[in-house]
């Protein structure tokens, strides 16, 4: 379980805090979605939860970050790496820059942990299979598409076998097929007991995989609850977050005077068409 207790964070040199008194609990096996407008503090939340802020970034952290009830203050970043993994939006900068094949790139993280060679190989193979990138394994990671690089970067995170995974807009550069692979991998990870915190603009993705969603605005949590409730909240639009397709369809149907039965029928039809595609 990953817990933030009253966390505030100010970047080094910044005039004010980017995160204010944020408290949340990420339970084992749970997928927690984070939405909010640009510059709302979503990425800062990810950096604080991962331990990178303030360990690597500097700045000032107020409050506590706990793993299974134990305060992480004083723990080095490399100690956090095998427990909390974080992935970013830009796939190019997540690559190590030294691996000549995708296989070596995925293995880079576990190699750093000093575990046995057999375990590195086992984790690398499992992560490659989870993201369905076996066909890329002997390719140069610098010479594949941005979407493929993102899948490789996520596979590299999974190879660390973390219990908590933080993903900051992981599908921003992925096509629908790549997005589906990532969402499948997230669901599998959660089913295996890992907890996932995912920041996403693709609210349909969040609606499909998240147990809970929270909205962030101006560095504060403004909405929190079950995914369906938060993503269906009428105030979400004012926070710069688009409605999920299902919510939009229901709202438009209702405004057009359609019956509940007709709306649900249209929704079921649309869902089956998307799944077929």
Partner 1 sequence: MLGGIIGPVGLVLMAVVLPALAAGVLRGLVRTSVLLTLPIAISALLVNLFFFPGGQQVLLRVGPITATAEGLEFALEILVRIMAISGAITLFYLTTRPQDLVVDLERRGVSARVAFVANASVQTVPAMVERAQQIAAAQRARGLDTEGSVLRRVRGILPIVGPVILGSISEVEERTLALEARGFTRPGSRTLLWWPPDSSSQRITRWGLILALVALVGARVAGRLG
Q: What residue ranges in 88-240 does DSSP mark as E strands?
A: 164-168, 195-199, 212-217, 220-226
Q: Compute the least distance from the CB of residue 179 to partner 1, in Å.
A: 21
Task: Choose between 160 and 206: whose C-beta lies nearer to partner 1.
Answer: 160
Task: Choose between 164 and 212: whose C-beta lies nearer to partner 1.
Answer: 164
Q: Which residues bind partner 1 (CB under 8 A)?
A: 47, 50, 52, 55-57, 76-78, 81-82, 85-86, 88, 90, 92-98, 100, 104, 107-117, 120-121, 142, 153, 156-157, 160
Q: Do 70 and 229 touch, CB atoms closer than 8 A?
A: no
Task: Choose between 48 and 227: whose C-beta lies nearer to partner 1.
Answer: 48
Task: Choose between 15 and 76: whose C-beta lies nearer to partner 1.
Answer: 76
Task: Choose between 116 and 261: whose C-beta lies nearer to partner 1.
Answer: 116
Task: Choose between 157 and 215: whose C-beta lies nearer to partner 1.
Answer: 157
Q: Compute the least distance from the CB of residue 49 to partner 1, in Å.
A: 12
Cα–Cα distance measured from residue 170 to residue 138, given in angstroms and rounded to the nearest whole number: 23
Q: Compute the least distance from the CB of residue 137 to partner 1, in Å.
A: 13
Task: Choose between 34 and 47: whose C-beta lies nearer to partner 1.
Answer: 47
The sheet carrying 212-217 orders its strands as 84-87, 164-168, 195-199, 31-35, 212-217, 220-226
- For strand 19-26 and strand 212-217, is the pairing parallel, antiparallel, or unpaired? unpaired
Q: Please work out, in degrees rounded to the nearest 5, the angle formed at the alpha carbon of residue 29 by the alpha carbons of 27 and 31.
A: 80
Q: Compute the least distance from the CB of residue 243 to partner 1, in Å.
A: 31
Q: Compute the least distance from the CB of residue 29 to partner 1, in Å.
A: 22
Q: Compute the least distance from the CB of residue 97 to partner 1, in Å.
A: 5
Q: Compute the least distance from the CB of residue 161 to partner 1, in Å.
A: 11
Q: Do 148 and 109 touch, CB atoms closer than 8 A?
A: no
92 — phi, psi (to 5°)?
-60, -40
Q: CB under 8 Å to 256, separation ≥6 — which residues? A: none
59: left (phi over 0), alpha (psi -120 to 50) or beta: left
């Amino acid at each position: 379980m990953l817990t933030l207790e009253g966390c505030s964070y100010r970047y080094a040199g910044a005039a004010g805090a980017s995160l204010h008194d944020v408290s949340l609990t990420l339970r084992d096996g749970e997928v927690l979605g984070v939405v909010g407008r640009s510059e709302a503090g979503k990425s800062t939340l990810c950096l604080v939860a991962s331990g990178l802020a303030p360990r690597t970034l500097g700045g000032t952290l107020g409050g506590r970050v706990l793993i299974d009830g134990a305060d992480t203050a004083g723990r080095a970043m490399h100690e956090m790496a095998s427990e909390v993994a974080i992935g970013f939006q830009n796939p190019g900068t997540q690559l190590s820059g030294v691996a000549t094949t995708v296989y070596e790139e995925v293995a880079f993280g576990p190699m750093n942990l000093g575990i046995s060679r057999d375990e590195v190989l086992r984790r690398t193979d499992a992560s490659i299979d989870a993201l369905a990138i076996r066909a890329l394994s002997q390719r140069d990671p610098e010479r594949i598409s941005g979407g493929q690089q993102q899948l490789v970067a996520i596979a590299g995170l999974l190879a660390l076998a973390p219990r908590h995974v933080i993903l900051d807009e992981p599908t921003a550069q992925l096509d629908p097929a790549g997005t589906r692979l990532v969402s499948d991998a997230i669901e599998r990870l959660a089913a295996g007991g890992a907890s996932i915190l995912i920041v996403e603009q693709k609210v349909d993705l969040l609606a499909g995989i998240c147990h809970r969603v929270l909205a962030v605005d101006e560095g504060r949590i403004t909405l929190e609850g079950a995914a369906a409730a938060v993503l269906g909240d009428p105030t979400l639009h004012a926070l710069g977050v688009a409605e999920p397709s299902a919510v939009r369809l229901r709202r438009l149907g209702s405004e057009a005077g359609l019956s509940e039965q007709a709306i649900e029928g249209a929704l079921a039809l649309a869902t089956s068409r998307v799944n077929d595609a």
